[in-house]
Chain A
Amino acid sequence: MFRYRHRRRQITQPLEGSIKIAFVGNPNVGKSALINAIAGSNLKVGNWPGVTVEKKEASLIINGKMFSLVDLPGAYSLNPFSLEEKITRDFLINEKPDLIVNVVDSNQLEKSLFLTLALSEFEIPMVIALNFFDEMIKNKTEIDIKKLKDLLSVEIVPTSGVKKIGLDGLKKAIYKTLNEGALPNILFEGSLDKRFKQIREMLSDENKDLGYPLSFAAARVLENDSQIVEDLQNKNFLNKKITDLSLDNTTYIQSRYRLISSICNSVLVRTVNENNLTQKIDSVLLNKFLGLPLFAIMMFVVFKLTFDLSQPFVDFTGYLINDYIGKYTIYLLWFLPDIFKSLIKEAIIGGVGSVISFFPLIGIFFLFISILEESGYMTRAAFLIDKLMNSIGLSGKVFIPLILGFGCNVPAIYATKGLDSQKDRLLAGLMIPLMSCSARLPVYLLFTAAFFGSFKELVILGLYFLGAFIAIILVILLQLAVPSLKMDSTPFILELPPYRIPPLKFLLRLTGFRVKSFVRKAGSVILFTMILVWSVNSLPYNAPPGESYLAQGSKSIAFIFAPAGFDKWEAVATLLPSVVAKEAVIGTLGQILEAEQGNSKEIKGPEKYNFLSDTSEVIVKFKNSFIEAGSSLLNFFTISSFQEKEKNESLMNRLKALFTPLSALSFMIFILLFVPCIVTISVFIQEYGIKWTIFEICMLLVISYSVSTLVYQTGKLFIR
């Protein structure tokens, strides 16, 4: 626990006395890959406090000095339009970094310079990294670096984060600029320059703290930025003499662009028109007729790869931890009383196992999703499907996490990180638990096989649609009920960046960090829940399943579920274990019903301990999981993680005594809409904080109870 706190502290508060360097740039300029290339293994990944925006930073020592590098969220301008831009601007104003590294896409100098000029107003020493320089050379474009350097009065270094070009040069430039402490030129066109200087002069007369860098404040007054001008007015810094010099932002921005194009005209040498490869790819991938089918195929492939490729490894890790490590841990702990052995094996090792068995899934998922993101396809997907999502007030990108939710809610919630607005991230997060994940399927398969015979596929399909339908209604209602969600909508302006080959090594490293942070943050919540569920389920120790605390509790609250039709304690007792993992419903029902039938727990003989043969079995299973993963790829058009594993006739017969078809349907609906599994919850806490998690859980409790009641009561009217 201590270690965890300590690390977090480092993430939010760099060491005193270290030199703070902020990396700032437009989105899609390769900033993160560049910082990664410089920082290497020192990179850390976390979230910005209180929001779901990812924060990357690194501390490293160069020439005996401590540097802390922060990757600020991508911004087009510093007049915050999105949460990311607000974070970036606030960091520059409040944290006052010692130096800014402005990362610029060499291929899009014109677009990038807008931000560069805005950054110069912060009066912070600056270095420009001309990133993707190798690409620019391929595109036969040239930038007169010396001229640009003289104009802006900053060090300029050609770099490529992916190819690791110019890293030493960048470090040297940072060092040199820090030593000289030189500030970048603040450039304006002639007439604006005069006004700017006048305003700056008048503001500086005040011997007080403006709360902003002086030139930044002056520039905002010049363009009449309503928010900052109002703030300065409230602080009594402005008078009529100053505000008379204000222009309006249209004039201001136009002048900025005129300046930028004159800079570009003088420093850019373009021999051949820019690379058209992106346009060519787009003409296929965004094609009127091909676009959507290709998108569907792409989604299918990602879904398939993520879930099928990881499934054998998930099974293997589960086996390795529970059946191998667990078994021998118990063997080594033979001296402990049985109750502790059971606690350790089932709750602690089981909990650790369930965290670790998510590694392959989350790892593979992060890798694919970041390939989609970094290659540039993700924004195209958003473009293709935007109209559909727009109709419920969300942006097109939300579609992808939602679809992933049908496989597993956990990576789906992580995928909301990639969305562009806080509103989209939150609403998508709230919707995802209603997407019926593949762990709920075994429950449907069992119940439909027992009660719905030839209609079973139809019922299952219906359940999937029901979940999605309720999610849609929910999102519409939430936007009506919570005005801040409605207002915060960032109108959909999406840049379609050039296609690029994703920097695989960097993505692998990033994936590693994200998996680690999953363990650190999710681990303790999961372990706690496992111990809790173990306690109610296994205590009093050695009591038959009908007399455990879980059973006793379920018997006393079962009546609550009478309106929904399943006021049987056996059914109610599965709800708590279902929070550990959805498929646990079946195991728990099996255990209870077997015991009721008199064939109490199958009597296990003394476990056989043969270390050598057990170890060789682990190796064989490990090998087989590769074969299985490979073969599931060959069987491309079946989703193997969705296949029915085994039929349990005797359990089905006992269920028939417990449920009617209608109450079975109501129960399945309840399981579909009930609180998600603990791994999803812990990831939810990690991404959205405890308040929203509690909100989500309460909401799901209300929804699951009322919808299954509604279905049961309506059904009763028809079935007499």
Chain B
Amino acid sequence: MVLNKALKNKSYRVIDIKLDEKLARRLQELGIVKGGKVHMVRRAPLGDPIHICINGQNISLRDSVCSGIVIEEDK
């Protein structure tokens, strides 16, 4: 599944980033790397963007970006 479908207050593991090179690179630099953990914190009141937490760092990403981040539930 992709990050848009993530549920509030759950943790996930990134398995792929399907975005153009520049954007994918920036996300990786911020710690959104394959195999890394992301925690879905909340959606904005208007539904977009979403608020995630990576390595203790809070980041807000738009739906359009999240749809390129493939995740799976973290067991």
Contact = CB atoms under 8 A, between A and B. Distances in A.
B33 interface: yes
B9 to A, nearest CB: 11
Interface residues of A, number: 39
A253 B33 contact: yes
Interface in A605-623: none
A384 B33 contact: no
A495 interface: yes
Contact of A496 (B24, B35, B58): B58
Interface string B20-43: 011111111111011110000111
B1 interface: no
A79 B29 contact: yes
Contacts of A331: none
Contact of A493 (B26, B36, B42, B47): B26
B44 interface: yes
A407 B51 CA distance: 31
Contact of A257 (B33, B60, B61): B33
Interface stretch (A37-45, A167-175, A189-197, A283-291): A283-291
B60 A494 contact: yes
B28 A496 contact: no
A491 interface: yes
Given A384-B45, A390-B48, A491 B65 contact: yes
A278 interface: yes
A79 B25 contact: yes
Interface string B44-55: 111111010001
Contacts of B24: 250
A384 B46 contact: yes
Interface string A582-603: 0000000000000000000000
A311 interface: no
A386 B45 contact: no
A108 B56 contact: yes
Contacts of A286: 42, 44-45, 51
A383 interface: yes
A388 interface: yes
Q: Which 10 pairs of residues, A with B, have the shortest CB-CB distance?
A: A496-B58, A387-B46, A494-B60, A253-B28, A77-B29, A387-B48, A291-B45, A492-B62, A383-B60, A81-B26
Given A387-B49, A496-B59, 13 more contacts: A81-B22, A81-B25, A110-B31, A114-B31, A278-B58, A282-B58, A288-B42, A291-B45, A383-B51, A386-B48, A386-B49, A493-B60, A496-B60
A292 interface: yes
Given A226-B21, A291-B45, A384-B44, A249 B28 contact: yes
Given A79-B29, A111-B55, A493 B65 contact: yes
B48 to A, nearest CB: 5
A492 B44 contact: no
A531 to B, nearest CB: 49
B65 to A, nearest CB: 6
Interface string A487-507: 000011111110000000000
A440 to B, nearest CB: 30
A131 B27 CA distance: 25
A551 to B, nearest CB: 53
14 contacts: A76-B29, A250-B28, A250-B34, A253-B29, A286-B45, A288-B43, A383-B49, A383-B60, A387-B48, A491-B64, A492-B65, A493-B65, A494-B60, A495-B57
A292 B22 CA distance: 32
A635 interface: no
Interface in A255-282: 257, 274, 278, 282
A81 B27 CA distance: 11
Interface in A372-386: 379, 382-386
Contact of A495 (B27, B34, B48, B59): B59
A63 interface: no
A385 B44 CA distance: 8
Nearest to A85: B26
A556 interface: no
A334 to B, nearest CB: 65
A481 to B, nearest CB: 23
Contacts of B36: 257
B59 A493 contact: yes
A682 to B, nearest CB: 35
A454 interface: no
A257 to B, nearest CB: 6
A386 B65 CA distance: 14
Contacts of B29: 76-77, 79, 114, 253
Nearest to A252: B28
Contacts of B55: 108, 110-111
Nearest to A261: B55
A492 B22 contact: no
A187 to B, nearest CB: 17
A491 B45 contact: no
Given A494-B59, A496-B58, A249 B45 contact: no
B44 A111 contact: no
A257 B58 CA distance: 18
A110 B56 contact: yes
Contacts of B30: 76, 111, 493, 495
B10 to A, nearest CB: 16
A289 B43 CA distance: 12
